[in-house]
């Protein structure tokens, strides 16, 4: 367990373990806030990875987040649904449902990592069956359409479309989902060049920096469009 230091000194964390970091909310005068329901968004990123860990609200002005949330294993194995077979990972997910504030909706995103880990269709089916056995109710979002060199890898559009279909049908058969957001079809129209993605990811923070093709032309509306669709599914008119 690690604690954030007010002086901002770097914290060294061991690998292969979960680390829960705590912080305190302050008001405009710098005094402690002794109640919850504040909003925090944490965005961590490196050259080859990005993570947005969930914040846990203790209801007294204290909050925490767990660093553990892209690959549970230090080998960075791109395991996808395989991560749900680990008790440590499941316990970490369940911890967000036993606090002062719990999510109203769970958005289950079928990701590209399954295409890297599951080399055969039967491997993916096993992972999908196990995922269904531990989830209860959710909105399922299919993965995006990849492009460029990704077309020659396990996460190519043809492969991922098949995986998306398998998981969606199994979730519907088990009556676990309240809706499906087909982001694969939504991103298909923009997966032919790099004006809207880097091969795997659509959207990034607005900036004037050049994109992969050397031009300042990145179209942010693709991710914004997804945000609107998610909100419409969670909060229908």
| Calculated CA dihedral for residues 133, 109, 79, 196, nearest 10 degrees | 170
β partners of residue 22: 3, 64
pLDDT digit string, tens, across residues 146-195: 887 777 788 888 888 899 889 888 888 888 887 888 888 888 888 887 77
Edge-to-edge strand order for the sheet containing 177-181? 107-109, 138-141, 177-181
pLDDT digit string, tens, across residues 23-42: 999 988 889 888 888 888 88
* pLDDT value for 63: 92
Global pTM reads: 0.61
Answer yes or no: CATH 3.40.50.1110 is held by domain 104-237. Answer: yes
* pLDDT value for 77: 59
pLDDT digit string, tens, across residues 185-225: 888 888 887 777 777 777 655 556 666 666 665 556 787 78
Q: What are phi and psi of 213, to 5 degrees?
A: -90, 10
What residues does CATH 3.40.50.1110 cover in the chain? 104-237
Structure tokens at 57: 């609200």
* pLDDT value for 72: 47
* pLDDT value for 62: 93
Structural element, H or E, at residue 140: strand 138-141
């Amino acid at each position: 367990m690690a604690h954030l230091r007010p002086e901002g000194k770097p914290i060294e964390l061991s690998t292969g373990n979960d680390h829960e970091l705590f912080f305190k909310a302050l008001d405009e005068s710098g005094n402690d806030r002794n109640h919850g329901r504040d909003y925090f968004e944490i965005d961590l990123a490196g050259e080859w990875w990005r993570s947005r860990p969930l914040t846990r609200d203790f209801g007294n002005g204290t909050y925490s987040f767990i660093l553990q949330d892209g690959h549970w294993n230090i080998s960075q194995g791109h395991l996808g649904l395989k991560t749900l077979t680990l008790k440590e990972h499941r316990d970490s997910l369940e911890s967000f449902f036993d606090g002062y504030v719990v999510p109203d909706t769970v958005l289950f995103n079928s990701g590209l990592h399954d295409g890297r880990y599951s080399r055969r269709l039967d491997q993916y089916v096993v992972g999908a069956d196990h995922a269904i056995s531990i989830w209860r109710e959710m909105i399922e979002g299919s993965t995006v359409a990849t492009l460029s060199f990704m077309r020659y890898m396990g996460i190519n559009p043809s492969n991922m479309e098949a995986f998306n279909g398998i998981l969606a049908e199994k979730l519907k058969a088990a009556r676990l989902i309240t809706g499906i957001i087909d982001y694969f079809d939504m991103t298909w129209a923009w997966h032919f060049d790099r004006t809207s993605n880097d091969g795997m990811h659509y959207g990034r923070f607005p900036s004037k920096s050049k994109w992969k093709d050397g031009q300042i032309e990145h179209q942010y509306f693709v991710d914004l469009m997804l945000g609107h669709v998610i909100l419409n599914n969670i909060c229908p008119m």
